[in-house]
Amino acid sequence: MQEKLQSIQARVMEQLDQAADTAALEQIRVTVLGKKGELTGILRSMGQLPPEERPVMGQKVNELRAQIEEKMAEREAVLREREKAIKLEKESIDVTMPVEDRTMGAMHPCSIVLDQLLTIFTGMGFEVVEGPEVEYDHYNFELLNLPKNHPARDAQDTFYVDDNIVLRTHTSPVQARIMTTRKPPIRIVCPGRTYRVDEADATHSPVFQQIEGLVIDENITMSDLKGTLDTFARHLYGEGITTRFRPSHFPFTEPSAEVDLTCANCKGAGCRVCKGTGWIEVLGAGMVNPKVLEMCGIDPEKYTGFAFGIGIERITMLKYSVPNMKYLWENDVRFLKQFR
């Protein structure tokens, strides 16, 4: 029995030294120390020994068991470390590997320009408001001094929903909505989509966007309008850009003006973009017609105001030299990704 113990000791110690991984260790534990293991077997068979030899033998078996367990724990620590290192090695990531190319989105050029316009106007103290795109005839036309059968209605080819409801043909109805619900001083801009029955071509689309401005207070004059639009022009295109007012007619303003900006392309010298004139027409404006003030419940004896309406697509096309409006709504990524 003594010899058997010695041979187990010699064999197991060597096996432990050679065990390649923790699974091998576990295998050794089962065959030697497990319920049906060799040492356990020896303990069981001790009944066959003469009684005086049993304690000595029992002690030897237990010493060997302790020795094996200690060695096994040491070996296990070493192997665990090694296995961890292997695992980490396998999981390591090469950060220099090329990555899959993910397409980044970009702001639409009209959104870039609109953001810029809003920054300019809020910087001058304007509040941003919105109104509905499906609008009452009352706000889109009537309150703006465009009664039914007014010839100027023909200039705005209107999508009618029914006799009294239209898709707004401009952002001007928001002026009427604000004037009928607020008291001066009023200083608002209103961006949004507008609709007209138009064939889509290089400069037209049935859906387009405008930004409307309205200021009403005591002693507001045309020079306030001029100063506001000059400031707008300078912030949009830089120093040296100013406005030129040409007489025009809108039923809701009196007097009315078409407003040109210095051509940003040639700084006024005359080029292909401005057809040699040095000016580009970008918006309509004027002093709010006293009749409109009155219809909207504002006393025209006490208050005056100015208003303007700017085409967002037009400004965008000028700013980025976009030759055809269709690029703005086709959403061809080759066009859009230039604005990243």
Give the binding site for ligand DAH (CB under 6 A).
170, 172, 212, 250, 253, 284-286, 307-309
Question: Rounded to an integer, what is the distance from CA 30 to the centroid of its chain?
Answer: 62
CB 109 within 8 A of CB 322: yes
Give Cα separations from 261 to 266, 280, 283 (angstroms): 12, 5, 9
Closest CB 237 distance from ligand DAH, rounded Å? 20
Question: Rounded to an integer, what is the distance from CA 172 to the centroid of its chain?
Answer: 29
CB 169 within 8 A of CB 194: yes
Nearer to ligand DAH, 139 or 250 (CB): 250
Nearer to ligand DAH, 28 or 171 (CB): 171
Give the C-alpha separation, 282 to 322, whole Å. 15
User: Nearest to residue 292, comparing CAs of 139, 153, 163?
Assistant: 139
Nearer to ligand DAH, 131 or 284 (CB): 284
Closest CB 103 distance from ligand DAH, rounded Å? 37
Give Cα separations from 88 to 82, 93, 205, 213, 285 (angstroms): 10, 10, 60, 64, 70
Nearer to ligand DAH, 54 or 246 (CB): 246
Nearer to ligand DAH, 148 or 334 (CB): 148
